[in-house]
């Protein structure tokens, strides 16, 4: 059955995560995460002594707040002469050493926890019927429990409209005394101060006393009922015996200013003292009733969450089981999986993106916007050789495209200005560039890890998301104002860097030096880099037509170099996609190398140079090489056993229409990497442990989408969308509403018990839509 009409958007099917036990101090393993982009909260703690771990996206130590004359990792003078020597060594031997280009990491810094808010209720001792839950249709976290005095309920949510988080305490009987306090347990006591007045508690801190002066931060928790301030402790005791409810609004700010990262502002990133801002937003929120705050929050949040619906059957009768039990009992070897849990984690991934990526926020970092530590794992920074990109995998297609603007603003304000200096100093190049690890202070130079520092192709990969945002929305105004300058600058850089291959002498243009991310030698013509350069050049030419570019010199240069560019697809001696252009005889193309990255398959997924531009999706020879490479790489356990490597494998298998392997890798991610709260923990195993790393949560969304749809960019006259390339029979009878497709439209569809899509409705775009068997569902 097919139809091509204009319909309203889909409604939201409610999904709830819950637990019958309080979350402990091990928040990232046990607590549920909420946020409004800037503020992140994890509620935890025992009944009657609940705590909120608070984070603020822009609270960092380091950069110009730590070091006078901070240079963002850039050298003091040109390194072009050294670069030439390195290139010549590689042309002579095939490999070389690029360590002389590595940068200075002094002052790099780290994402920094904000505070803990504690709400203590007098007289709460023995409790029954404890439950905490996160309603993914509203973004509201609820805790309830029964005491001898009555039932206590707390509702916590972070409002984007009000720019505060809200904690609402209610009781079926009158409340007792409630004590509210803020603490900063991870910082030296000399660097922060807690104060209070009759209606609020406040924590003000600084990351270092200096010189230079560190970053100032400020947070206020303002109460709807006045109380008594204990100035010796900074705590507020509220006599609530005449009330059955209490509302606390929480706001925070710093003196970080993301617009002050230019040469004109001396790259200070320093703005105004945040005190007045924090006082104003919390005062304004306190003037509103809690029902009004809640209504505005739910309207905003549900409009985003409800833009897309995935319905899967509850074949394992899991609806009445708490999340930790579902995850603990999950077994990847059970082919039926647990569709309800798989849908729940898909929905949670979208919730996390809504909660950590908004127009006025920084993009989600390696921990999203949730870290209980002074120094977050890996600095809580932006790794851009898979991690930052994976964060965006599920956004555009599920109606969250507007939330990706945080990433584009960050690139424009944090990478481009200093990155233009990096391009000149390190490479003698045009345009702009950055590398693999970035902070919020314009660090665009290299760091010093041998196999990942030299990674100037990071912006080329990020341009995929610039193109995606245009391709899904067809917003020409945005593209002209923000997307095109980003894209053109990256293309200009690579036009200035390509070299004629002097090792194989095949007359193609290649990069030199390069590495395959976190693996192998420093060499030339690395598959990963060549594929990304190809993708940038193709999308730049398409983009030039959209903005009616008149830069003929630039465009002619682009066309000429694209014609001679090595496109990064070579089949090796054992049938694999080669990772390096070096002959296999050099010994780097090792069979059964189970490294975590799939860098040489970037053009298959998530990129599209192989799958679309070279028509690999319809080419059996290329598909065989991709399959051979994936089998050689293993299932994603032997190396790091991280979650992100498994969901990447799942998505690649889905694009090969291999349902069995795609679903297995998805199940393996849950089995090995999902903590008790549904957040991904880096160190996989039967009992996952280690640091929380959010990319697998977002990548899980992308992997599921890859099982639901193949929607490759390409020529408008060849628009074919494949629905259900790898839907397992375990999901039989499911449906999707609101799936965005390229061109600015969306599709609703459903499938039978065998996982084959049999009904579809396309809205707002012309496309031929088929199922995995090739049956035409829609043609309009």
Which one, of 467, 746, 736, lies nearest residue 612 by Cα?
A: 467
Q: Is residue 775 part of a domain?
A: no
Predicted pLDDT at 716: 63
Q: Is 704 left (phi over 0), alpha (psi -120 to 50) or beta?
A: alpha
Predicted pLDDT at 308: 98
Kindly report the average pLDDT of the chain as a whole number.
Answer: 96
Which one, of 659, 597, 666, 661, lies nearest residue 633 by Cα?
A: 597
Task: Assess contact for 254 and 232: CB atoms under 8 A.
Answer: no
Task: Assess contact for 56 and 114: CB atoms under 8 A.
Answer: yes
Cβ atoms within 10 Å of 128's Cβ, excluding its own: 10
Predicted pLDDT at 196: 98
Predicted pLDDT at 3: 52
Cα–Cα dist 146/143, whole Å: 11
103 and 123 belong to one structural domain? no
- Mean pLDDT across the stretch 107-126? 96
Q: Please work out, in degrees rounded to the nearest 5, the angle formed at the alpha carbon of residue 596 by the alpha carbons of 371 and 703.
A: 75
Q: Which two tokens stand for residue 648?
A: 């990447």
The residue among 255, 281, 305 that closes a domain is: 305
DSSP characters over 52-69: EEEEETT-EE-GGGT-TT
Q: Which two tokens stand for residue 241?
A: 């015996």
Cα–Cα dist 609/464, whole Å: 11
More confident residue, 12 or 754: 754
Give yes or no for residue 11 having a pLDDT over 60: no
Peptide linkage before 215 cis (omega within 30 of 0)? no
Cα–Cα dist 581/526, whole Å: 6
Cα–Cα dist 621/84, whole Å: 38
Cβ atoms within 10 Å of 9's Cβ, excluding its own: 16
The residue among 616, 646, 675 that closes a domain is: 616
Task: Assess contact for 131 and 543: CB atoms under 8 A.
Answer: no
450 and 588 belong to one structural domain? yes
Q: Is residue 198 part of a domain?
A: yes
Cα–Cα dist 163/291, whole Å: 16
99 and 179 belong to one structural domain? no
Cα–Cα dist 586/528, whole Å: 18
Q: Is residue 662 part of a domain?
A: no
187 and 55 belong to one structural domain? yes
* pLDDT digit string, tens, across residues 696-739: 999 999 999 999 999 999 866 678 999 999 999 999 999 999 99
Can you give the CATH number for the domain in which 236 is found?
2.70.98.50
Instruction: Kindly state the percentage of the chain with pLDDT values over 90.
Output: 94
- Mean pLDDT across the stretch 591-613? 97
Query: For residue 171, what are the β-bridge partners?
Result: 152
Give yes or no for residue 187 having a pLDDT over 90: no
91 and 119 belong to one structural domain? no
Cα–Cα dist 499/513, whole Å: 10
Q: For the chain, how many structural domains are there in total?
A: 2
Helix (H/G/I), strand (E/B), else coil: 134? strand
Pairing verdict, β 735-741 and 720-723: unpaired
Give yes or no for residue 6 having a pLDDT over 50: no
Buried b (16+ CB within 10 A) or exposed e, 651-680: bbbbbbbbbebbbbbbbbbbbbbbbbbbbb
Q: Is the sign of the CA dihedral 282, 283, 284, 289 positive or negative?
A: positive
Radius of gyration of the chain (CA): 26
Predicted pLDDT at 451: 85
Which residues neighbour 396 within 8 Å (Cβ) at sequence distance 6 or greater? 404, 468, 469, 472, 473, 740
Q: Which two tokens stand for residue 311?
A: 């319905």
272 and 392 belong to one structural domain? no
Q: Is the sign of the CA dihedral 630, 657, 465, 551 positive or negative?
A: positive
Can you give the CATH number for the domain in which 481 is found?
1.50.10.10
Cα–Cα dist 730/240, whole Å: 52
Cα–Cα dist 525/567, whole Å: 9
Range of the domain at 575: 80-107+372-616
Task: Assess contact for 581 and 524: CB atoms under 8 A.
Answer: yes
Give yes or no for residue 345 having a pLDDT over 60: yes
33 and 172 belong to one structural domain? yes
Predicted pLDDT at 24: 96
Task: Assess contact for 739 and 708: CB atoms under 8 A.
Answer: yes
Predicted pLDDT at 9: 33
Cβ atoms within 10 Å of 274's Cβ, excluding its own: 22
Cα–Cα dist 663/670, whole Å: 11
Residue 665 gets which letter from DSSP?
H
Q: Is residue 700 part of a domain?
A: no
Judge residue 70's burial from the number of C-beta atoms within 10 Å of its C-beta, 0-12 exposed, 13-18 middle, 19 or more buried. Answer: buried
445 and 486 belong to one structural domain? yes
Q: What are phi and psi of 99, to 5 degrees?
A: -65, -20
Q: Is residue 158 part of a domain?
A: yes
Three-state SS for 136-152 is CCCCEEEEEEEECCEEE
* pLDDT digit string, tens, across residues 532-578: 999 999 999 999 999 999 999 999 999 999 999 999 999 999 999 99
397 and 452 belong to one structural domain? yes
Residue 2's pLDDT band (cuts 50, 70, 90): very low
Q: Is residue 492 part of a domain?
A: yes
Cα–Cα dist 554/560, whole Å: 10
Q: What are phi and psi of 238, to 5 degrees?
A: -115, 125
Q: Is residue 773 part of a domain?
A: no
The residue among 305, 334, 362 that closes a domain is: 305
Predicted pLDDT at 186: 79
Task: Assess contact for 21 and 130: CB atoms under 8 A.
Answer: yes
Cα–Cα dist 191/205, whole Å: 6
Q: Which two tokens stand for residue 334?
A: 């059970």
Q: Is the sign of the CA dihedral 575, 581, 586, 592 positive or negative?
A: negative
Cα–Cα dist 266/69, whole Å: 9
Q: Is residue 24 part of a domain?
A: yes
Predicted pLDDT at 14: 61
- Look up the pTM and report it: 0.97
Which one, of 450, 396, 477, 492, lies nearest residue 95 by Cα?
A: 450
264 and 386 belong to one structural domain? no
* pLDDT digit string, tens, across residues 373-406: 888 999 999 999 999 999 999 999 999 999 999 9
Cα–Cα dist 430/512, whole Å: 16
Could you identify the residue written with the tokens 């603020």? 56
Cα–Cα dist 27/182, whole Å: 17
482 and 609 belong to one structural domain? yes
487 and 556 belong to one structural domain? yes
Task: Assess contact for 364 and 356: CB atoms under 8 A.
Answer: yes
Task: Assess contact for 611 and 603: CB atoms under 8 A.
Answer: yes
């Amino acid at each position: 059955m097919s139809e091509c009409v204009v319909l309203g958007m889909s409604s939201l099917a409610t999904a709830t995560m819950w637990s019958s036990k309080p979350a402990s101090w091990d928040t990232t393993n046990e607590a549920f995460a909420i946020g409004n982009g800037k503020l992140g909260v994890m509620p935890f703690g025992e009944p009657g002594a609940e705590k909120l771990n608070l984070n603020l996206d822009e609270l960092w130590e380091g950069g110009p707040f730590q070091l006078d004359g901070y240079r963002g990792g850039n050298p003091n003078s040109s390194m072009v002469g050294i670069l030439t020597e390195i290139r010549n060594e590689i042309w002579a031997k095939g490999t070389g050493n690029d360590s002389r280009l590595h940068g200075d990491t002094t002052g790099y810094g780290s994402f920094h926890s904000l505070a803990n808010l504690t709400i203590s209720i007098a007289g709460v001792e023995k409790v029954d019927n404890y439950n905490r839950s996160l309603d993914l249709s509203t973004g509201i976290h609820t805790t309830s429990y029964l005491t001898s005095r009555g039932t206590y309920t707390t509702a916590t949510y972070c409002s984007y409209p009000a720019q505060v988080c809200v904690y609402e305490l209610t009781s079926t009987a009158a409340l007792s005394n409630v004590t509210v306090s803020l603490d900063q347990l991870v910082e030296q006591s000399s660097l922060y101060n807690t104060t209070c007045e009759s209606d609020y508690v406040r924590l003000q801190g600084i990351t270092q006393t200096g010189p230079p002066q560190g970053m100032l931060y400020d947070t206020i928790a303002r109460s709807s009922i006045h109380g008594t301030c204990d100035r010796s402790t900074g705590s507020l005791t509220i006599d609530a015996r005449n009330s059955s409810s209490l509302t606390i609004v929480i706001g925070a700010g710093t003196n970080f200013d993301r617009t002050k990262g230019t040469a004109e502002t001396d790259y200070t990133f320093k703005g105004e003292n945040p005190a007045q801002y924090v006082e104003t937003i919390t005062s304004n929120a306190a003037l509103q009733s809690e029902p009004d705050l809640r209504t505005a929050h739910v309207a905003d949040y549900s409009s985003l969450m409800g833009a897309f619906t995935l319905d899967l059957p509850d074949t394992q009768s899991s609806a009445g089981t708490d999340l930790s039990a579902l995850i603990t009992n999950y077994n990847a070897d059970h082919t039926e999986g647990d569709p309800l849990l798989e849908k729940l984690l898909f929905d949670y991934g979208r919730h996390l993106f809504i909660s950590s990526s908004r127009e006025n926020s920084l993009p989600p970092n390696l921990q999203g916007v949730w870290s209980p530590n002074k120094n977050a794992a890996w600095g809580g920074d932006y790794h851009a050789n898979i991690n930052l990109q994976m964060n965006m995998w599920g956004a555009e297609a599920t109606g969250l495209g507007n939330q990706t603007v945080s990433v584009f603003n960050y690139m424009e304000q944090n990478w481009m200005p200093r990155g233009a200096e990096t391009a000149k100093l390190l490479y003698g190049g045009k345009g702009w560039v950055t590398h693999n690890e970035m902070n919020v202070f314009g660090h665009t130079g290299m760091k010093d890890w041998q196999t990942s520092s030299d990674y100037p192709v990071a912006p080329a990969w990020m341009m995929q998301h610039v193109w995606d945002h245009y391709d899904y929305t067809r917003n020409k105004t945005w593209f002209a104002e923000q997307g095109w300058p980003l894209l053109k600058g990256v293309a200009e850089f690579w036009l200035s860097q390509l070299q004629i291959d002097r090792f194989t002498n095949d007359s193609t243009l290649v990069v030199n030096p390069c590495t395959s991310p976190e693996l192998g030698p420093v060499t030339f013509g690395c598959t990963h880099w060549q594929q990304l350069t190809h993708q940038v050049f193709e999308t730049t030419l398409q983009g030039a037509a959209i903005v009616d570019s008149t830069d003929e010199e630039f465009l002619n240069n682009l066309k000429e170099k694209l014609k001679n560019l090595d496109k990064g697809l070579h089949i090796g001696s054992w049938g694999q996609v080669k990772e390096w252009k070096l002959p296999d005889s050099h010994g780097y193309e090792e069979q059964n190398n189970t490294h975590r990255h799939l860098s040489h398959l970037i053009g298959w997924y998530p990129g599209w140079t192989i799958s679309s531009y070279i028509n690999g999706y319809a080419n059996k020879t290329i598909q065989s090489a991709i399959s051979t490479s994936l089998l050689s790489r293993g299932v994603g356990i032997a190396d790091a056993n991280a979650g992100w490597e498994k969901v990447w494998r799942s998505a690649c298998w889905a694009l090969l229409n291999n349902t069995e392997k795609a679903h297995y890798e998805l199940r393996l991610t849950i089995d090995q990497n999902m903590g008790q709260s549904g957040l991904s923990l880096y160190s996989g195993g039967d009992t996952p442990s280690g640091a929380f790393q959010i990319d697998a949560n977002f990548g899980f969304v992308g992997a599921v989408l890859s099982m639901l749809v193949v929607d490759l960019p390409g020529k408008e006259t060849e628009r074919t969308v494949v629905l259900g390339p790898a839907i397992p029979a375990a999901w039989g009878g499911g449906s999707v509403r609101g799936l965005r497709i390229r061109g600015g439209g969306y599709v609703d569809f459903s499938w039978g018990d065998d996982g084959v899509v049999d009904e579809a409705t396309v809205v707002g775009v012309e496309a031929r839509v088929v199922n995995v068997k090739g049956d035409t569902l829609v043609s309009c």
